[in-house]
C-alpha cells in the first residue's frame, strides 16, 4: 500500500471535524468528495473549509506561491445523496467518517456503505472514544479499518491518534501512518480502549472543571487563565469546550461512561442544562463565552447555574 497512490478521499459528516479534515486533505493536494445527511451543512462546511485554507495560506504557506486557496477549493465536491456519494467512492483510496459520536449510528452507516465501496479502500474513523473494533467488525472489513482521532482543529494540530485494534492489518495501519505523515501530521499509535490515550485523560479533567463551576468554586475566566498561565496549556478548559461543542462533549462523555462505568465520565448537570438552552459553544454563538464567529465577545456569568440548594433545584416548596 503506497501512500503516494492516494488521489481522492471520501468524507461523510461535514461538521466541525469533517470540514477541518477536508481542508487538510485539500492542502495535501487530494481531491475530496463530501456528504452529510443534513443539507444545511453543505454551505457551512464550504465556508469552514475556505476559512481553514485561508488560515493555512497565512500561517503555513505564506511564502509558497504554488499554494492557491481557490485551486484547493476547486478540488472539493459535495454530493447531495448517499447514492451519488457511493458512486464517487469508487474512485477513492480513503474513506473517512466524522459523523456524530454514537456507536449505533456509526455501525449502521458502516454496515450499509462498506459493502458498496471498492475493495482496496482504507477506512478511517475520527471517533473520539468509541470501540474501533466494534465499528471495524460492523463494516465487515476489519483489517482495513483504522481509528484516526484528529485533534480539534485538525488543520492546525499536528498529532493524530492512530488507533490499533486487534483485527487491523499491519499494512492498513502503516499506510495510515504514512499518509498522515505525508499530510504533515505527527501521528502516534494508541490502544483501542475507551477514550484511547488523549480523551481517557482529558474527559475526566474537563468534567471536573465543569463541576467546580457548578459548585461556584471558580469563574470561567479565572478557571481558564489558571490552567493556561500555570500549566502552559494553549487555552483553558472552558474555551476548549466551546470549540469542541457541548453536544459533542455530552456524546463523548456518555459513550465513555457507558463503556467504563467510571462515574467521573457521567456528564455533569451543567452539560444538560447548557444543551437545553442551545448553548453549545462557538457553533451556536454562546457557550462558556459569547462568540462572534471565532472571536470571544465576553465571558459569561454562570452564577444562575450554581447548585446551592437541592430543594430549589428540583423546585420542592416547603
Residues paired with residue 11 on neighbouring β-strands, in sequence order: 34, 96
Distance CA 165, CA 24 (A): 25
Q: Which of 1, 73, 84, 105 binds ligand NAD (CB under 6 A)?
A: 105
Q: Is the dihedral of CA 41, 44, 49, 52 positive or negative?
A: negative
The helix/strand/coil state of 13 is coil
Q: Which of 24, 127, 219, 241 binds ligand NAD (CB under 6 A)?
A: 127
Indicate the residue among 52 and 219 with the shorter CB distance to ligand NAD.
52
- Check whether 303 is labelled as a binding-site residue: no
Distance CA 235, CA 228 (A): 6
Specify the stretch interacting with ligand NAD by CB under 6 A; choose among 30-38, 139-147, 292-300, 301-309: 30-38
The residue whose grid cell reads 471495524 is 136
Residues 131-170 close enough to bind ligand NAD by CB under 6 A: 149, 152
Distance CA 48, CA 45 (A): 5
Is position 41 an interface residue for ligand NAD (rule: CB under 6 A)?
Answer: yes
In the structure grid, which three cell numbers stand for residue 57, read together? 495560506
Q: Which of 15, 34, 223, 268 binds ligand NAD (CB under 6 A)?
A: 15
In the structure grid, which three cell numbers stand for residue 25, read together? 486533505
Residues paired with residue 97 on neighbouring β-strands, in sequence order: 12, 125
Provide φ and ψ at 52, rounded to 5°. Answer: -65, -45
Q: At its nearest, how many Å lie between ligand NAD and the CB of residue 150?
A: 6
Specify the stretch interacting with ligand NAD by CB under 6 A; choose among 64-72, 93-101, 159-167, 178-186: 93-101
Q: Which residue in 164, 160, 184, 159 sits closest to 174, CA to CA? A: 164
CB-nearest residue to ligand NAD: 15
Q: Which of 33, 98, 136, 180 binds ligand NAD (CB under 6 A)?
A: 98
Specify the stretch interacting with ligand NAD by CB under 6 A; choose among 8-16, 49-57, 131-139, 185-193: 8-16
Residues paired with residue 76 on neighbouring β-strands, in sequence order: 32
In the structure grid, which three cell numbers stand for residue 44, read together? 457551512
- Contact 30/6 with Cβ under 8 angstroms? yes
Q: At its nearest, how many Å lie between ligand NAD and the CB of residue 303?
A: 27
Indicate the residue among 205 and 308 with the shorter CB distance to ligand NAD.
205
Is position 13 an interface residue for ligand NAD (rule: CB under 6 A)?
Answer: yes
Is position 33 an interface residue for ligand NAD (rule: CB under 6 A)?
Answer: no
Q: Which residue in 157, 181, 186 sits closest to 59, CA to CA? A: 157
Q: At its nearest, how many Å lie between ligand NAD and the CB of residue 129?
A: 7
Instruction: Look up 233 and say whether it is catalytic.
Output: no
Site size for ligand NAD, by CB under 6 A? 26
Residues 255-314 close enough to bind ligand NAD by CB under 6 A: none
In the structure grid, which three cell numbers stand for residue 60, read together? 503555513
DSSP secondary structure letter of residue 140: T
In the structure grid, which three cell numbers stand for residue 147, read together? 481509528
Is position 37 an interface residue for ligand NAD (rule: CB under 6 A)?
Answer: yes
Return binding residues for NAD(+). Answer: 13-18, 36, 101, 106, 128, 152, 283
Binding site residues, ligand NAD, CB under 6 A? 12-18, 36-38, 41, 98-101, 105, 109, 126-128, 149, 152, 244-245, 248, 252
What residues are labeled active site? 149
Amino acid at each position: 500500500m503506497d501512500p503516494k497512490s492516494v488521489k481522492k478521499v471520501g468524507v461523510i459528516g461535514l461538521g466541525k471535524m469533517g470540514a477541518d479534515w477536508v481542508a487538510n486533505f485539500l492542502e495535501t493536494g487530494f481531491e475530496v468528495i463530501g456528504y452529510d445527511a443534513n443539507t444545511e451543512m453543505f454551505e457551512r462546511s464550504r465556508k469552514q473549509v475556505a476559512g481553514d485554507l485561508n488560515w493555512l495560506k497565512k500561517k503555513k504557506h505564506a511564502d509558497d506561491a504554488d499554494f492557491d486557496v481557490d485551486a484547493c477549493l476547486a478540488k472539493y465536491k459535495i454530493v447531495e445523496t448517499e447514492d451519488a456519494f457511493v458512486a464517487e467512492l469508487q474512485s477513492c483510496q480513503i474513506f473517512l467518517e466524522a459523523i456524530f459520536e454514537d456507536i449505533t449510528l456509526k455501525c449502521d452507516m458502516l454496515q450499509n456503505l462498506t459493502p458498496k465501496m471498492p475493495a482496496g479502500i482504507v477506512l478511517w474513523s475520527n471517533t473520539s472514544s468509541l470501540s474501533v473494533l466494534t465499528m471495524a467488525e460492523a463494516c465487515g472489513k476489519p483489517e482495513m479499518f483504522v481509528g484516526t482521532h484528529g485533534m480539534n482543529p485538525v488543520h492546525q494540530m499536528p498529532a493524530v491518534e492512530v488507533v490499533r485494534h486487534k483485527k487491523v492489518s499491519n499494512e492498513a495501519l502503516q499506510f495510515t501512518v504514512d499518509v498522515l505523515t505525508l499530510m504533515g501530521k505527527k501521528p502516534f499509535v494508541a490502544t483501542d480502549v475507551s477514550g484511547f490515550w488523549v480523551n481517557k485523560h482529558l474527559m475526566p479533567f474537563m468534567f471536573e472543571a465543569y463541576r467546580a463551576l457548578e459548585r461556584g468554586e471558580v469563574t470561567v475566566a479565572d478557571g481558564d487563565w489558571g490552567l493556561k498561565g500555570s500549566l502552559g496549556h494553549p487555552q483553558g478548559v472552558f474555551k476548549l469546550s466551546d470549540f469542541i461543542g457541548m453536544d459533542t462533549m455530552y456524546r463523548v462523555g456518555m459513550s465513555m461512561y457507558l463503556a467504563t462505568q467510571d462515574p467521573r465520565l457521567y456528564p455533569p448537570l451543567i452539560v444538560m442544562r447548557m444543551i437545553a438552552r442551545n448553548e453549545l459553544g462557538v457553533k451556536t454563538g454562546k457557550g462558556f463565552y459569547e462568540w462572534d464567529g471565532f472571536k470571544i465577545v465576553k465571558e459569561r456569568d454562570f452564577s444562575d447555574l450554581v447548585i446551592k440548594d437541592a430543594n430549589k433545584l428540583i423546585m420542592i416548596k416547603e
